[in-house]
Structure 1
Amino acid sequence: MANRRVVVTGLGAVTPVGNDATTLWNNIKAGNSGIDFITKVDRDAFPVHVAAEVKGFDPTLYMDKKDVRKMDLFTQYAVAAAKMATEDAKLAIDESIAERVGVWIGCGIGGMQVYEEQLRKFIEKGSKRVSPFFVPMLIPDMAAGQVSIQLGAKGINSCTVTACASGTNSIGDAYKAVQRGDVDYIITGGTESPITNMAFAGFSAMRALSQNDDPSTASRPFDKNRDGFVMGEGAGILILETLDTALERGAHIYAEIVGYGSTGDAYHISAPAEGGEGAARAMKQALADAQLAPEEVNYINAHGTSTDMNDRYETAAIKTVFQDHATKLAVSSTKSMTGHLLGAAGGVEAIISAKAIDDSIIPATTNYETPDPECDLDYVPNEARKQVVQVAMSNSFGFGGHNASLVFKKY
């Protein structure tokens, strides 16, 4: 079977800046931040005091209370976002297409909240008090499993776990499944709910998180004074389908997905390879897969975590791949507003990339004040830019040396 064209027709989101894709995008365009003082753990117990929490989320708007009790928060986020995305796509999943609808949703960590709750029960009350739902609530693939159950999608059902690249890898893997004909439609993206005592303690101990006590400036990608990322949570889910089915249904096409690259650093458990070598190869692979020249890319939604090494090496990798065109590219990190959603980051940022193409607006990197000589590209500082975007790239890089890049194109 010849490679089939694949398009984005539905978007759903639960994020620190809005619990649907429209609110997310409106806040991103306006430069509004979802970062504030942390409330989900005792902030006095940690050296880090800010986070990007989801606010006002009501899972019962999307599922029965009895189902909510059997799902960790990361799964609830995914189910809600998936239902929003299928509704946005106007995709009715019935028996006529159920076996041709897949699910591929990534998650980096899984059910940390349920793990902590059940461990306390085990220690305080013994093994017989551990919930029979403990394992099904904990495992990272259960977001994809529950979305399949809730929506009746019977095609390929999978979960890519590649730390902070999980969402982007899952979308890329899902894209390939549709392209090669495994399914005609796929529900894909990433989800994460890591704002718990143990996860927060772990990242704090690594000194990976910003210790800036001002929520309005804590996440400052590419700025000289950046000092770590801000932990976030949520889910970003997209509906991908063949161009033929989208046209047949009269679906709105946000963008076409045309390229995917995925590489390993083979270097270090948490630090990126020197000069962003692995990241550069992922971007080159994605461009080759898309059959596009570097000069055809207008915008990169960067991984841009606000950590020292990531921002320097991602900048270096962009220069390696795009050469003279690097200075003509718009590059922004929307983590300046959303925080870093870990396994969900790629899903949310894919939505933002598709909306940038659909709306002809390039979102800003907010909190950008002091240029870093080693980060010297056009980071779209502080204000979104009205500009036609023909081609956008979205990057995600994860602990373990996972690198993933997606290329979206205006249809």
Structure 2
Amino acid sequence: MTTAFGRGLEALRQGLAAGQPAFGPVTRFDVARRRVDRAATLPGDPHLIDEITDAVTQAIGRAGLGAEAAARTPLLFARHGDQAPPRLTLPEHHAQAQHTSGTEIAERCGLRDATRTYTNACVAASTAIADAAALIAAGREERVVVAAGYFVDADAYALFDAGRALAADGHLRSFSQDRKGLLLGDGLGAVVLESAEAAADRGATPIAALLGWGRAGDAFHVCQPHPEGLGMAAAIEAALGRARLAPDDIDYINAHGTGTPLNDSAETAAIRRAFGEAARKVPVSSTKSLHGHTLEASGVVEFAVSVLTLQEGTVPVNAGYLGPDPACELNLVVDAPQRVAPQAVLSLNAAFGGANTALVLGAVAA
């Protein structure tokens, strides 16, 4: 994993434990003409494909996959849509087509192929994870590598700024009163998903279990969620059903929580609709308030956050909180991280066009 906290899972672990947001002045490109000048970024101008290649290589190594096993394993890759084509010649565009980037990474890392590239906004990585799980559950693959990445860029920054979606006060205040909007963040990562049988056959020790996944759309508006959270509620219910768990079995919700007025109230409505009375007690936080909104990489970054929550027994803080909003009545973790003994966590993501995903992760015996 890589976030603005630094490269490596340990940097993310320490950043979550400290509970201090990683936002700072944008220096990667000129923001003098922008309303907002803050994001959560690494120093310099890192190269996405090189960094993703390194992350995939590390994930393969940590999973203990040899060259033969890797050569049988496909890659599903989620990335930010390329904003450059209007400024490129046709030959340059063909040479840099975003769908070829996954193939390049797979070849570099010794993987079998990269048959799918996901660019469906903030659910790209979580959709890829759900697709990987479905392929494994159906017996079509024994394991899949999922990778995703986004580095804050001038074009996306300008679009969000022009749309007045960025928080003018420089803080991403998920589910809080007086929240002003989102802030972008660097993020990328890679994860190996594998059937329990395949892992056992090669003596691998899993670090978590993906118990269930759900996807649903509400088609309410191109850039606004359904105010009653109907699509997200359906995704949650599907994920819980696949995991064979009840709302009371979930010990933490890693929320999408972009800090925008419409998203946070709709997500609250979805959680309350799907969880009923259990919504009053389950701890909720959005770690976007710490590492920023990593767009297409959100699903894999927050997947890692969910795994760390299971491993560490600590629920990350919902940073930047100023006080309750009547439209966001949830059991928010504020002030500091909260100690728990989680057995199952739920990670949520939503995207433009009314797309919603829900992933249920469970602890595994040490």
TM norm. shorter chain > 0.5: yes
The residue correspondences of 1:247-258 to structure 2 (distance < 5 A) are 247-258=200-211
Kept after mapping to 2: 8 A contact 1:246/1:253: yes
Offset at 1:205? 1.5
Offset at 1:277? 1.0
Please identify, of 147-156 and 396-405, the stretch whose mean Cα deviation from structure 2 is larger.
Answer: 147-156
Counterpart of 1:182?
Answer: 140
Query: Equivalent of 1:79, from 41, 45, 53?
Result: 53
Offset from partner CA, 1:78-101 (integer Å, 9 cap, x none):
222212212222222x2x324531
Amino acid at match of 1:399: F
Counterpart of 1:4?
Answer: none
Per the normalisation by structure 1, the TM-score is 0.84
Q: Secondary structure in 1 aligned to 2:167?
A: coil
Q: Does 1:209 align with 2:166?
A: yes
The 1:309/1:34 distance shift into structure 2, 3 A limit, reads: same
Counterpart of 2:193?
Answer: 240
Query: Equivalent of 2:131, from 154, 173, 183?
Result: 173
Q: Secondary structure in 2 aligned to 1:22?
A: helix
Aligned CA RMSD, in angstroms, stands at: 1.9
Kept after mapping to 1: 8 A contact 2:5/2:22: yes
Counterpart of 2:338?
Answer: 385
Q: Does 1:44 align with 2:8?
A: no
Distance 2:198 2:20 in 1: 36
Query: Equivalent of 2:216, from 253, 258, 263?
Result: 263
Q: Which runs of 5+ in 2 are unaligned?
A: none
The residue correspondences of 1:150-165 to structure 2 (distance < 5 A) are 150-154=108-112, 157-165=115-123
Distance 2:233 2:204 in 1: 34
The residue correspondences of 1:265-344 to structure 2 (distance < 5 A) are 265-344=218-297
The 1:143/1:54 distance shift into structure 2, 3 A limit, reads: farther
Counterpart of 2:21?
Answer: 33
Counterpart of 1:23?
Answer: 11
Q: How many pairs were matched up?
A: 364
Per the normalisation by structure 2, the TM-score is 0.94
Offset from partner CA, 1:148-187 (integer Å, 9 cap, x none):
1111111563223321111111111111112212222211
Q: Secondary structure in 1 aligned to 2:205?
A: coil
Amino acid at match of 1:157: T
Q: Secondary structure in 1 aligned to 2:319?
A: coil
Amino acid at match of 1:282: A
Amino acid at match of 2:331: D
Offset from partner CA, 1:370-400 (integer Å, 9 cap, x none):
2112212111113111211111111110011
Kept after mapping to 1: 8 A contact 2:252/2:282: yes
Distance 1:353 1:24 in 2: 12
Offset at 1:401? 1.1
Offset at 1:252? 3.3
Offset at 1:57? 7.6
Offset from partner CA, 1:293-336 (integer Å, 9 cap, x none):
11111111000001001111101110000001001101110001
Amino acid at match of 2:42: V
Q: Does 1:101 align with 2:73?
A: yes
The residue correspondences of 1:368-379 to structure 2 (distance < 5 A) are 368-379=321-332
Query: Equivalent of 1:135, from 70, 74, 94?
Result: 94
Q: Percent identity?
A: 30
Amino acid at match of 2:30: D
Q: Secondary structure in 2 aligned to 1:79?
A: helix
Counterpart of 2:65?
Answer: 91
Distance 1:43 1:91 in 2: 43
Amino acid at match of 1:162: N
Amino acid at match of 2:308: K
Distance 1:352 1:16 in 2: 14
Kept after mapping to 1: 8 A contact 2:41/2:152: no
Q: Secondary structure in 1 aligned to 2:256?
A: coil
Offset at 1:135? 3.3
